[in-house]
């Protein structure tokens, strides 16, 4: 198993990507601690993991509150003694679809401030422990929003660019301590949308275009993705498990393109 003996913390573990990654981490042998704000969603993921023989712990944690994150990490360390993998997969509703002329300063700043605050808080908490250990993997999550060329994604596009830059700089700072940082960049995952805050985003774009979300995504993929399909949730989770494992031990600092070729680096 890829992650046997590892301890993984997944922030946003009740969400689509976070939950899929947590399930895969557990299947690959990791002891998984999933944290989030909605207990019922965490319980659902935990039940799936336990049914398959995995080891999991759940906790209500506000990833925008440093004291909440620190208290949870203390619990993780008391129970497991270390943290080897940390994935920030939180999701928050953010206003999209509005052009600059219709976008308020508050709506523009919300995703930038919220996502960067959460990534900073969680990365700092686990990094301090990983530095002491001399090893660890921090995984962040972005989207092709930073590469978008159309209107309506100003706030979220800037956010994705910030997350990617943050990840690169963090990799540079932590590399000498044996800590790796990898940013995952999937594109829209249709099977994840119903359970995701992104559903409202795509509905906004689709309504403006006068089409359904399904039609919009199908047209987007058919015209833009080299593989002519969107990424699958399982593919993103499998890559997360691989890159968090010792088999990817030489990898740090990249923005992993998991878009099926809808964007190219």
Q: How far is CA 74 from CA 9, 160, 161, 231, in A?
A: 12, 29, 31, 35
Distance from C-alpha of 35 to C-alpha of 38, rounded to nearest angstrom: 9
pLDDT at 144: 87
pLDDT at 86: 98
pLDDT surpasses 90 at 95: no
Report pLDDT digits (tens) over 154-202.
Answer: 888 899 999 999 999 999 999 999 999 999 999 878 777 655 555 556 6
Summarize the confidence of residues 99-113 as an average pLDDT. Answer: 90
Report pLDDT digits (tens) over 231-262.
Answer: 999 999 999 999 999 999 999 999 999 999 98
Residue whose C-alpha is closest to residue 109's, from 155, 146, 149: 155
Residue whose C-alpha is closest to residue 264's, from 161, 140, 144: 144
What are 142-147's contacts with CB under 8 Å, separation 24+? 142/167, 142/183, 142/184, 142/185, 142/255, 143/185, 143/186, 143/187, 143/188, 144/185, 144/187, 144/259, 144/262, 144/263, 147/263
Kindly report the average pLDDT of the chain as a whole number. 90
Distance from C-alpha of 64 to C-alpha of 69, rounded to nearest angstrom: 8
The residue ranges of every structural domain in the chain are 7-258
Structure-model confidence comparison of residues 93 and 92, the more confident one: 92
Structure-model confidence comparison of residues 102 and 45, the more confident one: 45
The secondary structure of residue 81, as a DSSP letter, is S
Would residue 97 be called left, alpha or beta, if left means φ above 0 and alpha means ψ between -120 and 50 degrees? Answer: left
Specify the pTM: 0.91
**Dihedral, CA of residue 251, residue 252, residue 255 and residue 260, to nearest 10:** 20
pLDDT at 15: 93
Q: What is the CATH number of domain 7-258?
A: 3.40.50.720
Token pair belonging to 82: 């270390």
pLDDT at 59: 98
Tell me the DSSP string of 150-180: SSS-HHHHHHHHHHHHHHHHHHHHHGGGTEE
pLDDT band per the 50, 70, 90 thresholds, residue 153 = confident
pLDDT at 179: 98
């Amino acid at each position: 198993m890829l992650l046997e003996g590892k301890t993984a913390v997944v922030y946003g573990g009740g969400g689509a990507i976070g939950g899929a990654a947590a399930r895969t981490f557990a299947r690959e042998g990791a002891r998984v601690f999933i944290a989030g704000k909605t207990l019922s969603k965490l319980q659902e993921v935990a039940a799936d993991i336990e049914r398959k023989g995995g080891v999991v712990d759940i906790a209500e944690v506000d990833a925008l509150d440093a004291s909440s994150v620190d208290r949870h990490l203390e619990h993780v360390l008391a129970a497991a003694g270390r943290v080897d993998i940390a994935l920030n997969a939180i999701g928050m509703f953010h206003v999209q679809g509005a052009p600059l002329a219709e976008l308020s300063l508050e709506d523009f700043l919300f995703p930038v401030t919220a996502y960067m605050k959460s990534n900073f808080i969680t990365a700092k908490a686990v990094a301090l422990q990983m530095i002491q250990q001399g090893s660890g993997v921090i995984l962040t999550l972005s989207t092709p929003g930073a590469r978008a060329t159309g209107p309506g994604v100003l706030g979220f596009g800037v956010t994705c660019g910030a997350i990617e830059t943050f990840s690169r700089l963090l990799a540079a700072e932590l590399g000498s301590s044996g800590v790796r940082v990898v940013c995952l960049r999937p594109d829209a995952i249709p099977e994840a949308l119903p359970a995701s805050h992104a559903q409202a985003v795509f509905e906004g774009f689709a309504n403006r275009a006068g089409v359904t979300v399904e039609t919009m995504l199908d047209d987007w993929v058919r015209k833009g993705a080299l593989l002519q399909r969107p990424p699958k949730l399982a593919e993103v989770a499998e890559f997360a498990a691989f890159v968090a494992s010792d088999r990817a031990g030489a990898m740090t600092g990249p923005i992993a393109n998991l878009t099926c070729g809808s964007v190219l680096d």
